[in-house]
Amino acid sequence: MYKTPWLHCCHFTDIQFKIVNVFVYKIGQEEKDLLKHEKIDDLALSPVEWGQVKLFNDLLAVHR
């Protein structure tokens, strides 16, 4: 079974979600090419997608 030791130690909280989305936003702001800027902005996850990340993380934690 493939193990992800770095993932099971993470407890996804609202703060972590915001940090990741701010990180993606700041990277996008630094990109000069508008098309690349838009693609980077699209990497920010919606609240629904974050819910899926949490569910996936919880599923992985069960199989440790």
pLDDT in tens, 15-40: 778 888 899 999 999 999 999 999 99
pLDDT of residue 57: 82
Asked if the model's pLDDT at residue 7 lies above 60, the reply is no
pLDDT of residue 25: 92
CA distances from 2 to 8, 40, 49, 52 (A): 12, 29, 23, 20
pLDDT of residue 2: 41
Q: In the chain, what are the domain boundaries?
A: 5-62
